[in-house]
C-alpha cells in the first residue's frame, strides 16, 4: 500500500480524491495549501503527490520544483492538477512526473495512480 498526498484548496476535490485513492487501497494524507503540504511531506513523505497548480498560498509548479530540488524528496512522484490546461504545459520545467486536467475521467486518475504507486 502506498501513501498519497493530495494538495488542493478545494475541500470537495480533496474529498473526491480521497475516495478514489482509498478505493485503490492506498493511505491518504491531504493539505489545502503549500505550507501544509511541506509540513506533511516532512512528517511522513508520500510516494505520490497529487498537486493542484493554483493554491491559496502559492503556485503548485513552484512547490513541485522545490520538492524535486531537495535530495531527500526528489524521488517523490508528482502529478500536477489544473482546471486551466495552459498551466499544465511545459510541466517538465518544474520536474513534475505527469499532469491531469480537471475535470478528469475517473479511469484516467486511477491509471496515473497505478503507474506511480503499487497497492
Q: Using alpha carbons, select from 19, 3, 1, 28 the residue that is nearest to residue 119.
A: 1
DSSP-assigned beta bridge partners for residue 77? 48
pLDDT at 88: 65
pLDDT at 93: 83
pLDDT at 49: 98
Residue 119 — pLDDT band, cuts 50, 70, 90? low
The third-level CATH classification (topology) of the domain covering 3-110 is Rossmann fold (3.40.50)
pLDDT at 71: 97
pLDDT at 87: 64
CA distance 111 to 115: 6
- The pairing of beta strand 58-59 with beta strand 54-55: antiparallel
For residue 15, the Cα-to-chain-centroid distance in whole angstroms is 14
Residue 14 — pLDDT band, cuts 50, 70, 90? very high
CA distance 108 to 92: 19
Domain ranges of the chain: 3-110
CA distance 116 to 107: 14
pLDDT tens string 49-99: 999 999 988 889 999 999 999 999 999 999 999 887 766 667 678 899 998
Amino acid at each position: 500500500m502506498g501513501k498519497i498526498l493530495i494538495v488542493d484548496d478545494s475541500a470537495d476535490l480533496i474529498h473526491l480524491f480521497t475516495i478514489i485513492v482509498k478505493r485503490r487501497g492506498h493511505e491518504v494524507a491531504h493539505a489545502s495549501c503549500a505550507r501544509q503540504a511541506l509540513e506533511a511531506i516532512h512528517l511522513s513523505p508520500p510516494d505520490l503527490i497529487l498537486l493542484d497548480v493554483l493554491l491559496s498560498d502559492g503556485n503548485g509548479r513552484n512547490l513541485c520544483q522545490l520538492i524535486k530540488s531537495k535530495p531527500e524528496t526528489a524521488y517523490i512522484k508528482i502529478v500536477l492538477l489544473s482546471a486551466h490546461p495552459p498551466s499544465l504545459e511545459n510541466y517538465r520545467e518544474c520536474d513534475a512526473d505527469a499532469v491531469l486536467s480537471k475535470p478528469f475521467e475517473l479511469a484516467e486518475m486511477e491509471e496515473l495512480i497505478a503507474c506511480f504507486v503499487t497497492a
